[in-house]
Amino acid sequence: MAKAVPGATLPVLRFSGGHTALGRTMGAYRRRQIVSAVEIAHEVLASEGTDDATLRAQIEPYLEFAERYTPGALREIEGLASGADVSFETLFRLNCFESRPPGSAFLWSRPDRPTPDPVPSLDPDIADTGVPRSLDAVTPTDTDAAPGGCTSIASRSEQGVVVGHTEDSSPENLDGIYLLDATVLSEGSKVANRFSALNYAMSLAGCAAAVNGHGLMIMIDALPDPDRRHGVPRSCVSRVLLDQPSIDDAIELLHQMPRGGGWNYFMVQGHRIVNVETTATTVTVNDATLDGAYAHSNHYLTPEIAERAGDPRPNSIARLGRARELVRPQMDVQDMISALSDRTGYPDSICRERTIAAWVADTGARTVRVCWGEPDDATWTKFSY
């Protein structure tokens, strides 16, 4: 189960400086976990006969897009590899889910303990959700926890929006997740951008839940993109979205950027609630502000995309159904914590063994609460933004 030690609070890393220095600091902070992930990735690559030249060829097209469109994010990955003292090419592959060759194994699953594709009903060559289920995964059985995936919920009132997000992954990832509080100064610029983000050990910021100094909050729900292609890695896209001043600017960036893959971007700012479902080639915007309540999980709700993406995971349907039963306008912070702690329908519940962290924010008060592990009975830490 993803339970932290009673009373334990989510670890926090604070930073101020440039992109490369940020990556180095993150890499040094979670070196042990990153080294473990890279070692497993090397085992997988070796088992498939992938040498250094082949690995470079796999990532080269995505590197070119990242260098052109998201150079700051690329500098952070370079720094992450340097700080952890691991191979940049391998770490980039781990952060570029689109670069996995069709039919090949996932790099976070040891060769002698295979993990099935996250959406078994889909063609495994296109069903990339972009979420590492485990750094040392095992083949699921009937008694194992349901597959990974996150649930995002928002409720509007006169004061603002209360938003909740469960970060679901393999329980092994509980060890590496943390809160990053960063102020980043771009090279050649005097303008600093501050953000706070739930972050995995080996990932760029922005791949889970985050808020920047403009009050733009983005929660990520992984989706089985049927359109992946050469383009900017989705992890780099989500990172640069944290540099945008508004929801509209973030959406415009998604429209303009040649993306390699798509996620669901659950955006909240002030009184606004906007959900954006993307593939590599499409952007679908649903403004739920007037509805005053919205929820999303890990399958496409846009009919034309859903038809191409195949049957959703049953646990995603169950979580979304329960979230829709619970969400309503005028929810307060405690209401949202209760919703994220809900175990109805276990193991396909909102709170489950794969919930390694949770995020609850109040835009009216400009506060965020985070917890380490499953939110029921967890210790919550509050901070302002």
Per-residue pLDDT of 4-13, as tens digits, reads: 888 899 999 9
Q: How confident is the model at residue 74 (pLDDT cuts 50, 70, 90)?
A: very high
Q: Is the pLDDT of residue 37 over 80?
A: yes
Give the residue-averaged pLDDT of 268-287: 99
Neighbours of 167 (CB within 10 A): 26
Neighbours of 9 (CB within 10 A): 15
Sign of CA dihedral 59, 61, 64, 69: negative
Whole-number Å distance between alpha carbons of 50 and 43? 10
Let me know: does 188 contact 235? Beta carbons within 8 Å: no
Whole-number Å distance between alpha carbons of 143 and 81? 36
Tell which wins on pLDDT, 353 or 30. 30
Q: Which two tokens stand for residue 46?
A: 């070796």
Tell which wins on pLDDT, 1 or 73. 73
What is the distance between the terminal CA atoms of the chain, rounded to a whole angstrom? 31
**pTM of the model as a whole:** 0.91
Rounded to 5°, the CA angle 316-321-324 comes to: 125
Whole-number Å distance between alpha carbons of 316 and 106? 21
Half-sphere exposure of 111 (CA within 13 A, CB side): 11
Whole-number Å distance between alpha carbons of 237 and 244? 11
Residue 36: per-residue pLDDT: 97
Please provide the average confidence, as pLDDT, over all residues in the chain. Answer: 91
Whole-number Å distance between alpha carbons of 283 and 277? 6
Let me know: does 225 contact 134? Beta carbons within 8 Å: no
Q: Which two tokens stand for residue 24?
A: 């180095």
Residue 247: per-residue pLDDT: 99
Let me know: does 250 contact 228? Beta carbons within 8 Å: no
Let me know: does 34 contact 42? Beta carbons within 8 Å: no
Residue 186: per-residue pLDDT: 81
Which are the contacts of 16, defined by CB distance < 8 A and separation ≥ 6? 182, 183, 185, 192
DSSP state of 175: G
Q: How confident is the model at residue 28 (pLDDT cuts 50, 70, 90)?
A: very high
Model confidence pLDDT, tens digit, residues 210-222: 999 999 999 999 9
Whole-number Å distance between alpha carbons of 106 and 124? 11
Reference 73, options 217, 282, 309, 239; nearest CA is 239
Whole-number Å distance between alpha carbons of 352 and 242? 28
Domains and CATH numbers, the chain: 1-137+146-385 (3.60.60.10)
Let me know: does 220 contact 212? Beta carbons within 8 Å: no
Whole-number Å distance between alpha carbons of 76 and 106? 23
DSSP state of 100: S
Q: Is the pLDDT of residue 118 over 90?
A: no
DSSP state of 194: E
3-class SS of residue 132: coil
Residue 70: per-residue pLDDT: 98
Whole-number Å distance between alpha carbons of 334 and 341? 10
